[in-house]
Amino acid sequence: MKKGQTMEGIVTRVEFPNNGMVAVEGEDRCIVVKNAVPGQKVCVAVNKVRKGKAEGRILSITEPSPIEIPSPCPHFGECGGCTYQNLSYEQQLQIKTEQVKSLMDEAVNGSYIWEGIQPSPVRNAYRNKMEFSFGDEYKGGPIALGMHKRGSFHDIVSVPDCQIVDEDYRKILTCTLECAKESGLPYYHRMRHTGFFRHLLVRKAVKTGEILIDLITTTEYDNFNAAGWMEALLSLNLSGTIVGILRTKNDSVADVVKDEGTEIIYGQSYFYEELLGLKFKITPFSFFQTNSLGAEILYDKAREYIGDTKDKVIFDLYSGTGTIAQILAPVAKKVTGVEIVEEAVEAAKENAALNGLDNCTFWAGDVLKVIDELGEVPDLIVLDPPRDGVHPKALEKITNFGVEKIVYIACKPTSLARDLGMLQGRGYRVERIGGIDLFPGTYHVETIVLIQKKTS
């Protein structure tokens, strides 16, 4: 096997995250590819060959897998947003279950209770947040607004029929794209670092139906007709209610949604969502689980794992808008949340007041730095870190508290597996692991773990 070769083989399995293993007859190693389904016969171009490992990209699918079905989304395959929409939901869950269980079996020392992966309450139109990008569908083409093309950093696929959001998102996207075209202003070019339109952020609450819309642009032009865009949006026939239309300025060269100043064009800069009987104020860039109905299942499971909280002090680290903290607070002595996004911390404080909870405090800052300043020792700790997991030094400080119980919620099981190694090395054992599928149609999955202090 050599770099540059074209080879044909069968996808024998898919490992997290999105790594298909292609077995080629007569070869002693698999070729790792993206966006594959077990059972497909594929033609692959070999990109890299290393000791015991090869990487490639799929040139064509010569025979579909027996488990494949027609995708409900017309953009599937071209759009890079989803990977499993060509599988039945039962097959999606089976693949995710095999992937997570395999990772956890390897990471955990000894036996543990595996609870499987619970399905999402909704399979389509489940997202309460979408970030769309401006660009062109091909070099020199007209302005587009949608998702990155599969396998491309530059090209954008317009997605007016996206299936993981509801019709309101699709109408808002189409309306905004038309206004952008009419303006004559260019999209932001990621290589030249020039242009105006960058991203469109749309958030919609499932329970309240409130919608927040944020257009992210540079400051290179000052002649955008924001009033005309607002009027076009407000004239749409939507099932939800627009409560805020914003414009956020971002001149950073990085291709991320970054807030360098936000103006309110209409209404307010937040919306409300409800979970498990509590109300939450959510701002444009604060973390909140993107599947509201699935989040209720996740947080119910967190309460089950945590167990009795009466007269207990709880640390909710990486607390976002304080969702978990407030779900635990009614029967706890005190809950302290730590979150690095300042606007999320302010929203968490307002949420606690809104829900009549006076035993919640929230700190703004990096967990690694702030944890030394909290001035108390918790009885229980909840971890819900970003995708990269917990910084090793922060994890060391967390284990130094010696709490009896830690509940770890992870959106990336490979990061969780790494952190479990350190937790077990510092005197903890894994008791129970379960998953909740918050992301149907994709390879992502949420994992929750109950970790207990070893007894002598």
Strands 210-217 and 241-249: parallel
Residue 52: pLDDT over 90? no
Q: Which pLDDT belongs to residue 409?
A: 97
Contact indicator for 145, 176 with CB cutoff of 8 Å: yes
Q: Which pLDDT belongs to residue 53?
A: 84
Query: What is the architecture of the domain spanning 91-122+285-453?
Result: 3-Layer(aba) Sandwich (3.40)
Conformation bin of residue 184: beta by default, left when phi > 0, alpha when psi is -120 to 50: left
CATH 2.40.50.140 spans which residues of the chain? 6-63
Q: Active-site residues: which are they?
A: 411
- Closest C-alpha to 281, from 344, 200, 356: 344
Q: Which pLDDT belongs to residue 403?
A: 94
Contact indicator for 283, 272 with CB cutoff of 8 Å: no
- CATH number, span 129-275: 2.40.50.1070
Residue 331 DSSP label: G
In whole angstroms, what is the distance from residue 70 CA to residue 83 CA?
13
Strands 143-148 and 156-158: antiparallel
Q: Which pLDDT belongs to residue 141?
A: 84
Compute the average pLDDT of residues 341-369.
93
In whole angstroms, what is the distance from residue 407 CA to residue 449 CA?
6
CB burial of 146-176 (b: ≥16 within 10 Å; e: otherwise) equals bbbbbeeeebbbbbeebbbbbebbbbbbebb
In whole angstroms, what is the distance from residue 138 CA to residue 146 CA?
13
| 235-285: pLDDT as tens digits | 999 999 999 999 999 998 877 777 788 999 999 999 999 999 999 999 998
pLDDT band of residue 454 (cuts 50, 70, 90) is confident
Percent of the chain exceeding pLDDT 70 equals 100
Q: Which pLDDT belongs to residue 105?
A: 97
Q: Percent helix, strand and coil across the chain, each rounded to 5?
A: 25, 35, 40
Contact indicator for 279, 212 with CB cutoff of 8 Å: no
The tokens describing 404, both together, are 């009896």
Contact indicator for 37, 22 with CB cutoff of 8 Å: no
Q: Which pLDDT belongs to residue 252?
A: 86
- Cα separations (Å) of 342 from 165, 235, 286, 315, 410? 28, 34, 9, 18, 22
Residue position matching structure tokens 């090209």: 155
CATH 3.40.50.150 spans which residues of the chain? 91-122+285-453
Residue 456: pLDDT over 60? no
Strands (E), 170-251: 197-204, 210-217, 241-249
Task: Give the DSSP letter string of 367-433.
Answer: HHHHGGGS-S--SEEEE---TT---HHHHHHHHHT--SEEEEEES-HHHHHHHHHHHHHTTEEEEEE
Instruction: Count, in order, helices (H) and strands (E) of the chain.
Output: 9, 22
Q: Which pLDDT belongs to residue 261?
A: 86
In whole angstroms, what is the distance from residue 258 CA to residue 4 CA?
39
Helix (H, G, I), strand (E, B), or coil: what is residue 230? helix
The fourth-level CATH superfamily of domain 6-63 is Nucleic acid-binding proteins (2.40.50.140)
| 109-164: pLDDT as tens digits | 999 999 999 999 999 999 999 999 999 888 888 899 999 999 887 889 999 999 99
| 60-69: pLDDT as tens digits | 999 999 999 9
- The pTM assigned to this predicted structure is 0.92
In whole angstroms, what is the distance from residue 173 CA to residue 132 CA?
8
The tokens describing 163, both together, are 């299936």
In whole angstroms, what is the distance from residue 54 CA to residue 71 CA?
29
- Cα separations (Å) of 136 from 182, 313, 424? 15, 52, 48
The total number of residues written for the chain in this structure:
456
In whole angstroms, what is the distance from residue 448 CA to residue 428 CA?
16
Element (DSSP H or E) covering residue 273:
strand 271-275
CATH 2.40.50.1070 spans which residues of the chain? 129-275
Pick 30 or 51 by higher pLDDT.
30
Q: Which pLDDT belongs to residue 253?
A: 82
In whole angstroms, what is the distance from residue 310 CA to residue 109 CA?
31
The tokens describing 137, both together, are 């569908």
Element (DSSP H or E) covering residue 22:
strand 19-23
Compute the average pLDDT of residues 385-405.
94
Contact indicator for 358, 310 with CB cutoff of 8 Å: no
